[in-house]
Amino acid sequence: MNDEAACGLFDSGHRACGGCGAAMAARLMLDAAGKDTIIVSSTGCMEVFSTPYPETAWKVPWIHSLFENNSAVASGVVASLAKQGRKEKVIAIGGDGATFDIGILCLSGAFERGHDFTYICYDNEAYMNTGIQRSGATPYDASTTTSPAGSCSFGNKRPKKDLPMILAAHGAPYVATASIAYPPDFKKKVEKAINTPGPCYIQVHAPCCTGWGFEGEKTIAIGKLAIETGLWVNYEMENGVVTRVKKVVRKPVEDYLIEQKRFRHLFKPKKNDAEIAKIQATADRNAEKFGIDIKLKK
Amino acid sequence: MLEITEGSLAVADAVGKCRPQVIAAYPITPQTHIVEALADMVANCTIDAEYITVESEFSALSACLGASAAGSRVYSATTSQGLALMFEVCFNCAGMRLPVVMTIANRALGAPLSIWNDQQDSISLRDSGWLQFYAEDNQEATDLHYLAYRVSEDHNILLPSFVCFDGFILSHTYEPVDILTQEEADRYLPRFTPFQRLDAEDPISFGLFAAPDYYMEFRYEIDQAAKKALSVFPKAGREFAELFGRDYSGLVESYRMEDADCALVAMGSLCGTVKDAIDELRDAGNKVGLLKIRTFRPFPADEVKKALSGVSRVAVLDKNISLGSKGAVALEVRDALYGSQIPVHDYIIGLGGRDVRKKDIARVVSLAGEGKGDLYYGLREEVLK
C-alpha cells in the first residue's frame, strides 16, 4: 500500500506525537466519512498539529475559527449548504475541553435547533494542547497540571461529566461512544451518524501518551484496557435509548491505572487501596448500568 | 418610493432586499425590531433566507462566519453587550476575510447597565478589522447596507462591515425614507460571488494557525485591504448616486464649512442636531461648520486633514471615551492634523443616552472659542466637587 492510500484523507507530515490517539481519530473519521465532508474544527491539539500555515493535513474542506464555537460555525455551514442546495456532510470536531467545557453553550444550542450535522469529540480527558490541565472530562483521581496529586490531594476531585446523556436529553437521534482502539466500530458509528438526519454525537476515547504518561506504542493497548476494565463503555443510543453495548470480560481497574503516570500516585510510594476501590466502584456502576459483563460459565 | 417608517423597519427592508442567504441573530434592545421584521419576512416567504435563531450573540456571529465561509451572503445585527460578546468572533471574521455585514444599533456598554445610545460599542471594535460606517438619519442607515455589501464583498477588500446607527434615536424613530424596490436593489447589488468557499470539489483549509514567521504578513494584508476601502467606498457611493440620486461617495461630509472658523466634528445622528445648531449660530454671525465622519474604519485621515485645513479650531463631539485617554474620534482627528497648528478640543458628550440639544452645541462652540476642551460636557455638578 502506498503512503497516499495509507493516509487516506488525513495526510502524513502533521506534527502529532508518535502514538497520538487524536490523530488516529482524525484519520479513521475521514476514512468513514469520505471526501464529501466539511470539517469544522475547534482550537486544540488536533487543529494545531494538523494546520501549521502554509501546510494542512486535511484533504477535505476544513475550517477552524475559535476554541468554543465549532458547533455554531457548523450551524452556519449547514444552513449555507442547504440554501445552496449542496449535499456535503458536516462534521464538527473538538477535544474534550472544547466540547465539555468552553463550547457547551454553542453545542447545546446547535443540538436544540436540530441542525443536520455530526459532532465528534475526541476525548483525551484533559487540556493537552496547553499542557495537560484538567477538564470536565478528566476522570476521578487523574493527576493533571491543574489537579496535581500532592501530599493532600489524590488528583482530580470530580468524576467525568456525562456529556452523551446531556446530548441525548436534547433529543439527539443518535449518540454514541467509541474508542480508537476499536477502529471498525468507530468507523461504523461515524457512518451511521452522518447518515442520520439531525444532530448526532460521537465521543471517541483517544488516549494521549504525552498527557497520560505511557509509551506511544501502547496507545491501542491503553484504549482497550479502558474498555476491558469498564472505565470506558462503548455504546449507542438511538432517540435516547441505549440500543447496543460492547460487552467484555472485565479486568480490575488496576490493570488500566497502573500503566499510566497520571495515576502513579495511587501506587507509589505505596498502593492506595481506598482510592483504587472508589475507581473500581465507578467501573462496577458502569457495568451494572450498561450491562457490559460477559458471564463466564464455570 | 417615500414611506414614513421606523428606522429598524427601513433597515430590515433594505437587508431583505440585499438577499442574504443566511441570517443569524440574537435579540437585544434596541436591535430587536430589525431581527423581528426579518423573521417575519422569512415566515411569510417574502425573502428566501435560512434564519438561525441562535442561543447567543457569540453563536450568531459564529454561524455567520461558517455560512459565509461555505459561500453564502450573511447578515446579523446586534448592539452593546451583544457586540462585546462577539468580540472574539469579530476579529476572526476579519482575519478570515469573510464579508459579513452587521447592523449595530449603537448603545452604551455596562456597567452601569444602560440600554440607551452612545457609540462605545462599535468604537471598542475599532481595531478588529471591520469597516465601520455611521449613519446620520434613517435614509442613510438604510442605504449604507447596500453599500456595505458592495464594499465588503469586493474581492480587493473581503472584510466585514458594521453599519452603525444610533439606538432608539434612529432605530425607533419614524422618518420618511425612500425605499428601493427589489428590482432597483438588484440593479445595484449583484448576487454574492465568494472569492473562495468550503467545497468538497476543491478542498481548502480556512483558519490555519500562523507561527511568528507568517503572522505579521496576515495582519499587514488585512490592514492594506481595509485601507483600500478608502477608494472602493467612494466608488460604490458614486454608483449608488448615479442610480438613486443620493450621494454617499464622501468618506466625510462638510456642512457650511466654506469659511468656517470653528469646525465641529461628529458621527451619527448627532450630525442632524449639529446642522440645525450651525444654522442658528450662522444666523447670529458665528462662522461654524460641521465635518461629519461617515467611515470611521478605515479612517479617512487625508480627507479630514483637507477639510479642516482652513479652520482656526476644531471641536470634536465624542459619543465614546477611551477610558484613561480621550475620545476615539478626537484622537484620530488630532493624528490627522499632526504638524498643523490647529487646536483640536475634545468633548465627551451624550454618553448612555443623555440628550444633546442645539443649545449644547452652541455652548461647545463657545467653549472651543475660549480654548476650553478635553472635557466631559454637561456633567452633574456633584461629581466635580
Burial of A18 (0-12, 13-18, 19+ CB in 10 A): exposed
Residues of chain A contacting residue B70, judged by C-beta atoms under 8 Å apart: 38, 76-77, 80-81, 84
Q: Which residue has the cell 428590482?
A: B183
In B, minimum Cα distance to A51 occurs at: B208
Are B205 and A62 a contacting pair at CB < 8 A? yes
The CATH class of A3-290 is alpha beta
- Residues from chain B that touch A62, judged by Cβ atoms under 8 A, are 198, 203-206
What CA–CA distance (Å, rounded) separates A293 from B9?
63
Phi, psi of B20 (to 5 degrees): -65, 140
The 3-state secondary structure of chain A reads CCHHHHHCCECCCCCCCCCCHHHHHHHHHHHHHCCCEEEEECCCHHHHHHCECCCCCECCCEEECCCCCHHHHHHHHHHHHHHHCCCCEEEEEEEHHHHHHHCHHHHHHHHHHCCCCEEEEEECCCECCCCCECCCCCCCCCCCCCCCEECCEECCCCCCCCHHHHHHCCCCCEEEEEECCCHHHHHHHHHHHHCCCCCEEEEEECCCHHHHCCCHHHHHHHHHHHHHCCCCCCEEEECCEEEEECCECCCCCHHHHCCCHHHHHHCCCCCCHHHHHHHHHHHHHHHHHHCCECCCCC
Buried b (16+ CB within 10 A) or exposed e, B286-310: bbbbbbbbbbbbbbbbebbbebbee
List Cα–Cα distances, A274 to A96, A277, A279, B177, B326, in angstroms. 28, 5, 9, 76, 62
Q: Mean pLDDT throughout A30-51?
A: 98
SS3 B76: strand
Q: Do A83 and B208 touch (CB under 8 A)?
A: no
Among B24, B49, B55, select the one facing A108 at the smallest CB separation: B55
Determine the distance in angstroms separating the CA of A167 from the nearest CA of chain B, rounded to an integer: 16
Chain centroid, CA B100 distance in Å: 14
Can you give the pLDDT at residue B385? Answer: 84
Average pLDDT over residues B192-198: 97
Nearest to B209 among A53, A71, A74 (CB): A53
B201 reaches A (C-beta below 8 A): no
Nearest to A72 among B53, B63, B210 (CB): B63
C-alpha to C-alpha distance for B60 and B83, rounded to whole angstroms: 10
- Over residues B171-194, mean pLDDT: 98
CA distance B83 to B104: 8
Contacts of A83 in chain B (CB under 8 A): 21-22, 48-50, 72
Q: What are the pLDDT digits (tens) for A98-142?
A: 999 999 999 999 999 999 999 999 999 999 999 999 999 999 999
Nearest CA in chain B to A52: B209
CA separation, residue B102 to residues A194, B45, B159 (Å): 32, 22, 12
- C-alpha to C-alpha distance for A276 and A267, rounded to whole angstroms: 9
Minimal C-alpha gap between B26 and chain A (Å): 12
Q: Using one digit for the tens of pLDDT, what is the confidence trace for B9-58?
A: 999 999 999 999 999 999 999 999 999 999 999 999 999 999 999 999 99
Q: Given this model, what pLDDT does residue B136 score?
A: 98
pLDDT of residue B349: 98
Q: Is the pLDDT of residue A1 over 50?
A: no
A40 contact partners, CB below 8 Å, separation of at least 6:
A62, A63, A64, A65, A70, A73, A74, A77, A90, A91, A92, A93, B66
pLDDT over 70, % of chain B: 100
Distance from CA of B87 to the nearest CA of A (A): 12
Cβ distance B208 to A51 less than 8 Å, yes or no, reads yes
pLDDT in tens, B266-321: 999 999 999 999 999 999 999 999 999 999 999 999 999 999 999 999 999 999 99
Mean pLDDT of chain A: 97
* Structure confidence by residue, pLDDT tens digits, B121-146: 999 999 999 999 999 999 999 999 99
Contacts of B87 in chain A (CB under 8 A): none
Q: Averaged over B257-261, what is the pLDDT? A: 97
pLDDT of residue A290: 98
Residue in chain B closest to A62 (alpha carbons) equals: B205
Q: What is the mean pLDDT of residues B174-180?
A: 98
Q: Does the beta carbon of B47 lie under 8 angstroms from any beta carbon of chain A?
A: no
Give the span between the Cα atoms of A162 and A166, in whole angstroms: 7
* Cα nearest neighbour of B96 on chain A: A65
Of B65, B74, B200, the CB nearest to A88: B200
CB contact under 8 A, B72 and A80: yes
Nine-digit cell at B21?
442567504
Q: Read off the DSSP letter of residue B351.
A: G
Domain ranges in chain A are 3-290
Does A255 contact chain B (CB < 8 Å)?
Answer: no
Collapsing DSSP to helix, strand or coil, B345 comes out as: strand
pLDDT in tens, A234-248: 999 999 999 999 999
**For B317, phi and psi rounded to 5 degrees?**
-100, 110
Residue A77 and residue B208: Cβ atoms within 8 Å? no
Phi, psi for residue A293 in degrees, rounded to 5: -70, 130
Closest by alpha carbon to B132, among B273, B344, B332?
B332
Which of B42, B90, B50 has the alpha carbon at shortest distance from B67?
B50
Q: How far is A16 from chain B (nearest CA, A)?
A: 15
* B339 interface with A at CB cutoff 8 Å: no
Mean local confidence (pLDDT), B240-251: 98
Report yes or no: B384 at the A interface, CB cutoff 8 Å.
no
Instruction: Tell me: pLDDT of B237 over 60.
Output: yes
Is a pLDDT exceeding 60 seen at residue A27? yes
Does B69 contact A at CB distance below 8 Å? yes
A266 in Cβ contact with A156 (< 8 Å): no
B60, closest residue in chain A (CA to CA): A72
State yes or no: pLDDT of A4 exceeds 80.
Answer: no
State the average pLDDT for chain B: 98
Chain A residues lying within 8 Å of B196, measured CB to CB: none
Q: Which residues of chain B does A77 touch, with a Cβ-Cβ cutoff of 8 Å?
A: 66-67, 69-70, 198
Q: Identify all chain B residues contacting A58, using CB atoms and an 8 Å cutoff.
A: 203, 205
- Looking at residues B355-363, what average pLDDT do you find? 98
pLDDT at residue number A3: 58
- Is B45 within 8 Å of chain A by CB? no
What is the signed CA dihedral for A123, A129, A134, A140, rounded to 10 degrees?
40
A214 falls in which pLDDT band (50, 70, 90)?
very high
Domains and CATH numbers, chain B: 2-244 (3.40.50.970), 252-384 (3.40.50.920)
Q: Is A108 on the interface with B (CB under 8 A)?
A: yes
Biggest CA pair distance of chain B: 69
Minimum CA–CA partner of B75 in chain A: A76
pLDDT of A159 > 50? The answer is yes
For residue B255, CA distances in Å to A146, B252, B265, B293 come to 61, 10, 10, 11
pLDDT number for residue B73: 98
Confirm or reject contact between B94 and chain A (CB < 8 A). no
> Are B62 and A106 a contacting pair at CB < 8 A?
yes
Residues B104 and B125: beta-carbon distance below 8 Å: no
pLDDT at A2 over 70: no
Its ipTM equals 0.97
